[in-house]
Amino acid sequence: MKRKTKEFQQFFERFYPMLCLFAQKYVQDSDVAADMVQESFIKLWKGKDDFENQSAVKAFLYTVTRNNCLNYLKHNKIVLDYSLQVMEKDLFYRDHIIEQETYMAIHDAIEVLPSQGKRVVEMSMRGIKNPEIAERLSISVNTVKSVKANAYRLLRLRLQDVVVLLIMFVFL
Amino acid sequence: MDKIDHYIRISQLIAREVNYELTTEEKLELDNWLNESKENLDLYHSIRNREKFLDWDQQLHQINTEKGWDRFESTIKPHWSINTFKTVLRYAAVILIPLFLSGIGYFIYNDISSLPQQHGQVKDQKQMKPMARLILADGSKVNLENQENVALKEKDGTLIEKDAGRLKYQNKANEDSKVLYNTVEIPNGANYQLCLTDGTKVYLNSMSALKFPTQFSGKTREVQLTGEAYFEVVKDKEHPFLVNVSGTRIEVLGTSFNVKAYSDENEIVTTLVEGSVKVNPSEVDKSTLLKPGQQAVVDVKKEGILVQDVDVNLFTSWKDGVFLFKAKRLEDIMNELTRWYDLKVFYMNPAVKDLRFGGHFNKDEEFESIMEMFELTRKINIEVNGKTILISAK
């Protein structure tokens, strides 16, 4: 594994937030979660492993983070045995990976919208109706409608590409 | 490792289903997975809860990635050479901004509203560019780049209003005088909007020029284009609107369409958004009628014409200040970027020209950060030396 710092940093910045949320599902406390994720990245950095692609690195980070969290919980005897048993299950692990990955994909697609489209989509996801969006952005209701239509078209385009191109991406 | 790929695949399908309908095969794939177990179905319903996503989104924004990286950086510091440290300093500016990088690192975007510092840099970089100008019938030139609103008067009495980024021609009652022509020239790094006397709107892209009469008279409304423009033509069946572009004539009744005909590309690409247009290449007898969503590509050298269905967004996003690419050849992307950013691009390996990329970013983006995004795809190496870009294979 080549340790090019700038590339590693981009990777870190991309996956650190979602891994922290993943870790929080186990340890609840956000500071502890950040520590667990930190350790995982250090292990990735120091490790001699070769990774075929991005999902292999992701798998590594998810697994190591999970183990760090479970060890922490066991060592500190914080949670009840019953909770720990649930958390140790593969299903718990799987469910939270799928949740993180799904939300990240939706988040990413919204994030790359042109700024007005992004604001309109975010507001309408929060249940704000078109007339109020129009008022807040000082634009007409018809403009809100067309911005929305255009934004959803772009979202569709993006999410399509993510699936196709994910396969092409090689991390190392 | 297979497992995680499967999880990611399922995640992508659910994410896509949230925003639009899946294809039949994808729907089937997702349904099969949902039918596999009650656990799958429960998970699906729990994920598809909008409130839950909004909570997640809020939590995501509370994560302090910068602090996380600083801690990480101090832990691994002893392993770094001076060189890598320099690299980090160079990237320090990038760390501060909410730089979006999608799962595949292909999509490129910065929210300009949150980037005041970077905005300033872009301005500095663009100070020394050539001017956008209007050339009047007598050959005198008017600078279009100052922000003042002015009214000009042509020899035939036509009033021309100029405000920031736009020219508007007023219709004049008497049509006895002889036809005068004006030309608007746009250099790289700029767009311009024109409103002709009949109300037709023209968005001119970088490195483009439009020659047009100050008043339309006679049976047709005719203009001459080089480069790229998006037209919103006002309907007038009695007076067809004609766009002449290197020997090809595009005939319009009332419609919105994009024409791209840069001399270095040897093709004239007409993309129809709505209405209908007729494309007549010179020396080819048959003309081609386009339907909305269709595109005609006229090969200037071979005089051939090809009609295809396209996603019109990809060809018209420029007028809204957005670069949008989808599986586009690197050379074609770079051609477009050079027109905006005044760059010189050299390819160390010819093969890289044919690599395809997708992406999306605002035209206010600094070109260095766009180049960095391309590098992050790990498909190519990019060296930036001032305005010169060297691209080589990885």
For the ranges A17-31, A108-122, B87-101, B195-209, the lowest mean pLDDT is seen at B87-101
CA distance B185 to chain A (A): 28
CB contact under 8 A, B16 and A159: yes
Residues B273 and B394 in one domain: no
Q: Is A125 left (phi over 0), alpha (psi -120 to 50) or beta?
A: alpha
Report if residue A13 sits inside a domain: yes
CA distance B153 to chain A (A): 34
Residues B270 and B164 in one domain: yes
For the ranges A23-37, A117-131, B161-175, B243-257, the lowest mean pLDDT is seen at B161-175
Residue B92 pLDDT exceeds 50: no
Specify the higher pLDDT residue, A16 or B162.
Answer: A16
CB contact under 8 A, B95 and A9: yes
Of A118, A155, A166, which has the smallest distance from its Cβ to B19's Cβ? A155
Residues B236 and B360 in one domain: no
Helix orientation angle between B38-47 and B24-36, rounded to the nearest 10 degrees = 120
First to last CA, chain B: 26
Specify the higher pLDDT residue, B360 or A166.
Answer: B360
Task: List chain B residues with CB under 8 Å of A34.
Answer: 63, 68
| Tokens 């005088």 sit on residue | B177
Residue A157 pLDDT exceeds 70: no
Report if residue B51 sits inside a domain: yes
CB contact under 8 A, B1 and A98: no
CB contact under 8 A, B103 and A59: no
Report if residue B84 sits inside a domain: no
* pLDDT of the residue at B60: 92
Residue B80 pLDDT exceeds 70: no
| Each residue's pLDDT tens digit, A28-40 | 889 999 999 999 9
Task: List chain A residues with CB under 8 Å of B112.
Answer: 115
Residue B184 contacts residue B132 (beta carbons within 8 Å):
yes
Specify the higher pLDDT residue, B309 or B110.
Answer: B309
Report if residue A103 sits inside a domain: no
Task: List chain B residues with CB under 8 Å of A49.
Answer: none
For the ranges A83-92, B143-152, B305-314, the lowest mean pLDDT is seen at B143-152
Residue B252 contacts residue B279 (beta carbons within 8 Å):
no
* pLDDT of the residue at A166: 34
Report if residue B10 sits inside a domain: yes
Mean pLDDT of chain A: 80
Query: What is the average pLDDT across B55-81?
Result: 81
Residue B361 contacts residue B323 (beta carbons within 8 Å):
yes
CB contact under 8 A, A162 and B76: no
Residues A146 and A77 in one domain: no
Mutation target among A57, A119, A165, A172 for the B interface, most CBs of B within 10 A: A165
Task: List chain A residues with CB under 8 Å of B53.
Answer: 103, 106, 125
CA-CA distance, B308 to B267, in Å (whole number)?
A: 14
Q: In what order do the strands lie in the sheet with B380-385?
A: B344-347, B388-393, B380-385
* pLDDT of the residue at B260: 92
Residues B228 and B283 in one domain: yes
CA distance A132 to chain B (A): 19
Query: What is the average pLDDT across B356-378?
Result: 76
| Tokens 């990286």 sit on residue | B69
What token pair was written down for B369? Answer: 């950060």
Mutation target among B7, B72, B274, B377 for the A interface, most CBs of A within 10 A: B7
Domain of A32, in residue numbers: 1-88
Tell me if chain B has a CB within 8 Å of the CB of A155: yes
Residues B342 and B357 in one domain: yes
Domain boundary among B260, B283, B315: B315
Of B1, B7, B378, which has the smallest distance from its Cβ to A98's Cβ? B7
* pLDDT of the residue at A35: 94
Domain of B262, in residue numbers: 134-315
Helices (H) and strands (E) in chain B, counts: 10, 25
* pLDDT of the residue at A75: 84
What token pair was written down for B202? Answer: 């023209």
- CATH number of the domain that A145 lies in? 1.10.10.10
* pLDDT of the residue at B127: 39
Residue A26 contacts residue A66 (beta carbons within 8 Å):
yes
Report if residue A107 sits inside a domain: no
CB contact under 8 A, B19 and A34: no
CA-CA distance, A155 to A34, in Å (whole number)?
A: 31
| Each residue's pLDDT tens digit, B215-273 | 888 888 999 999 999 999 988 888 889 999 887 889 887 789 999 988 878 888 999 99
Q: Which residue of B has its CA nearest to A97?
A: B7
Residue B119 pLDDT exceeds 60: no
- CATH number of the domain that B362 lies in? 3.55.50.30
Task: List chain A residues with CB under 8 Å of B101.
Answer: 10, 13-14
Residues B204 and B102 in one domain: no
| Each residue's pLDDT tens digit, B34-45 | 999 999 999 988
| Each residue's pLDDT tens digit, A33-75 | 999 999 999 998 887 666 767 778 888 999 999 999 999 888 8
* pLDDT of the residue at B152: 80
Query: What is the average pLDDT across A102-119?
Result: 83
Residue B48 pLDDT exceeds 60: yes
Report if residue B92 sits inside a domain: no
Element (H, E) at A101: helix A90-111
Mean pLDDT of chain B: 77
* pLDDT of the residue at B367: 79
User: Is the sign of the CA dihedral A85, A86, A91, A92 positive or negative?
Assistant: negative
